[in-house]
A and B are shown apart, each in its own frame.
Chain A
């Protein structure tokens, strides 16, 4: 019974993690899971955050995707002294596959984790960084576009003309 509850909770929390990630990155939950990195990032995220901060971080998930999303993101996440640095590291994790450690001040206030170090999470994380899609290119050294593709007109901005 207890085990089932844990799995349920983690799944619930994981869904919350994806919802907040989607709002912060501008990519929807399916796109984020499509990178194949969601579980790795969720693992990293739990390793660096104390439990109560993680809980607070996820607590706004149900309110996202509705009318006041921008206000919630800016007020409860980006400008919050605790959740602001957390959010910014998470955005950069999704975009570059690289964990950006929290500022020294944050560590002093909320606790330092030995997993809070600069690193590229995995070779897959490098290749799946959202930045490559966002800039209309491909990860350097992977997902090559083919001979002469560099001559073609660059892709249009996503969503342009919608």
Chain B
């Protein structure tokens, strides 16, 4: 029996994970006078400017510039990598990477275990969900309803948008303005509160966006009857990156969660260079790293929490939460963690953190492996199930003229038309994201173009230079993000056979795409093909049966990837039989334990989950504050 050393101090709240949700919770709780301890398994990337700069250098030197490439992948703390994804064959799981993949399809998403979490490499897309997304069972007889409605999350969306610093204009973002034929007659009414607007104006459209906008108004049949036909519209995507702050009209301030706000002040880099990054400068590398931190990351919120909390706020990095311990009445009595002094060396000290309330905020997969390893939250049987992602499919082609790719944020606009509609009873909804970086994700451009022109087309000199311009300037790509329904068989489990060098359980994942999502992907492909035909884009899309994410639907083959949107493994619900936590994210089985993050979401719909999980963190924060004040009584 290895001795566990108790930490000296007992905190009001112990949070596992310093990412999007953990940051907001910490800031909210310390602002209210509570003491907070954050345990973060990864290293602190933001402590000094030199550290952050060294990750930028690592990005420059990485041969394959994957989302995790700038950041350390420690043997002590492996993160899943997109390079590890291979097809799963037969009955043997694929154990190439950190994930143990049981298939039948590989789960293609990743995340980052570090101070700041996956916010270090997210794209910045900050979409609200639509009213229908909360009512999938009532409206379509599919999946589950949320225990609350869009209206109930609206003011928390406002808070999250102002914390992250989202650039968008409310009048452009209503379902109607986006060109969505909503499935409910009143979904457009009051989508934004009357005196609300985003803190900053929309990020300017890219030249590529404006090229695609030439097809605006084109009718696309999506459902079975003519009434379902939508008219294409390119619309700005709300983004968590700094733009021009909105000036509130003198008399009417902007109300955020009911509170009047002064003009938003964009927050730049963390650490000593805070004057940098107050505007997006177009570094065109949001994924995997914004060199100036004009893109939001959770380190900004964590820094606020430290500044506000002072002695009430404590962060311990390189601390891997290993077991949630239970005391009397199923209450959590402590969290045992492994504190490793040297990154990469699997040598650690066992310590125990104590608090009145405990929060798991390590992401949809890590929350589950920790809970399963601790044998908690078991009564519903839902823990680890209903894993969802946005299966991500690309279509790409050559435009008839130069469109200026490889400039600006990864995506600035999308076709949001297909995010809801009556078609959703049979076909998954989707969003078509317009890419600004040519065939970067689709084919490894522009380096792959250099290789092709030199090695295969035998070009050199000015002819090579000119052909590169010709080919790459015309590269366009659309990414489809399609919704998945919650399925009990898409799940995260653990197996004693698979552990990390630190002795922690590796996630064992079973994953598949159902016909609903496949139908959505097929419909999106047909839509993209039509858009290409309309704009004279030569279609270069190629899906190969040897691709890891190759699948078929109605006799045709496609390839999907993960979107990094890990959702649904510890969903909220109305009772302890259908969900892991209540609608405030308190575990049904353990009254002082909370599970937050995208794992709480009962459905994924078509919005990238960050904004929703951040809004839900405010909801949880209020309930946790109450619980702390009451001393944890129910």
Contact = CB atoms under 8 A, between A and B. Distances in A.
Interface of A: 23-27, 73, 78, 87-88, 91-92, 95-96, 98, 100, 118-120, 122-123, 126-127, 130-132, 134-138, 140-142, 144-154, 157-159
Contacts of A146: 281-282
B402 interface: yes
Given A25-B461, A120-B63, A147-B280, A152 B446 contact: no
A96 B61 CA distance: 11
Given A142-B291, A146-B281, A23 B454 contact: no
Given A135-B473, A140-B437, A154 B403 contact: yes
Given A88-B455, A150-B412, A154-B402, A98 B63 contact: yes
Interface string B459-494: 011111110111011000000000000000000000
B546 interface: no
A99 B291 CA distance: 25
A26 B450 contact: no
Contacts of A136: 402, 404, 469, 473
Nearest to A69: B461
Interface size class of B (residues with CB under 8 A): 35 or more
B99 to A, nearest CB: 26
B59 A145 contact: no
Contact of B460 (A26, A138, A152): A26
Given A88-B455, A136-B469, A25 B464 contact: yes
A142 B440 CA distance: 16
Nearest to B206: A150
B59 A141 contact: yes
Given A73-B461, A145-B282, A134 B468 contact: yes
Contacts of A95: 450, 454, 464, 468
B495 interface: no
Give the most central of A25, A127, A136, A137: most B CB within 10 Å. Answer: A137
Interface string B433-450: 000110010000011011
Contacts of B469: 134-136, 157-158
A148 B63 contact: no
B473 A26 contact: no
B407 A150 contact: yes
B455 A154 contact: no
Given A73-B461, A151-B205, A135 B446 contact: yes
B171 interface: no
A152 to B, nearest CB: 7
A92 B283 CA distance: 23
Contact of B283 (A26, A91, A144): A144
Contacts of A144: 281-284, 291-292
B204 interface: yes
Give the most central of A118, A146, A148, A152: most B CB within 10 Å. Answer: A148
Interface of B: 56-57, 59-63, 65, 204-207, 210, 243, 279-285, 289, 291-292, 402-409, 412, 436-437, 440, 446-447, 449-451, 454-455, 458, 460-466, 468-470, 472-473
A141 B281 contact: no
A134 B462 CA distance: 10
Contacts of B473: 135-136, 154, 157
Given A141-B284, A150-B409, A154-B473, 18 more contacts: A24-B460, A25-B464, A27-B465, A73-B461, A91-B450, A92-B450, A92-B451, A95-B454, A96-B447, A98-B63, A127-B60, A138-B406, A140-B283, A144-B292, A150-B407, A150-B436, A151-B206, A157-B473
A152 B466 CA distance: 21
B282 A150 contact: yes
B176 to A, nearest CB: 25
B247 to A, nearest CB: 17
Nearest to B458: A78
B465 A142 contact: no
A67 B73 CA distance: 54
A155 B195 CA distance: 42
A118 B464 contact: no
B282 A135 contact: no
B284 A154 contact: no
Nearest to B407: A150
Contact of B56 (A23, A91, A141): A141
B404 A120 contact: no
Contact of A149 (B60, B403, B408, B412): B408
A101 to B, nearest CB: 12
Contact of B57 (A100, A123, A132): A123
20 contacts: A24-B461, A25-B460, A26-B462, A78-B460, A87-B460, A88-B454, A119-B63, A126-B61, A127-B60, A135-B468, A136-B469, A138-B284, A140-B65, A147-B279, A150-B204, A151-B207, A151-B210, A154-B407, A157-B469, A159-B466
B407 A120 contact: no
A92 to B, nearest CB: 6
A92 B404 contact: no
Given A25-B465, A135-B468, A149 B61 contact: no
Contact of A158 (B285, B408, B449, B465): B465
B202 to A, nearest CB: 11
B447 A131 contact: yes
Contacts of B451: 92, 100
Contacts of A152: 207, 404
A137 B406 CA distance: 6
Contacts of A98: 63, 447
Contacts of A147: 204, 243, 279-282
Contacts of B409: 150
A158 B465 CA distance: 9
A145 B407 contact: yes
Given A150-B207, A158-B465, A120 B284 contact: no
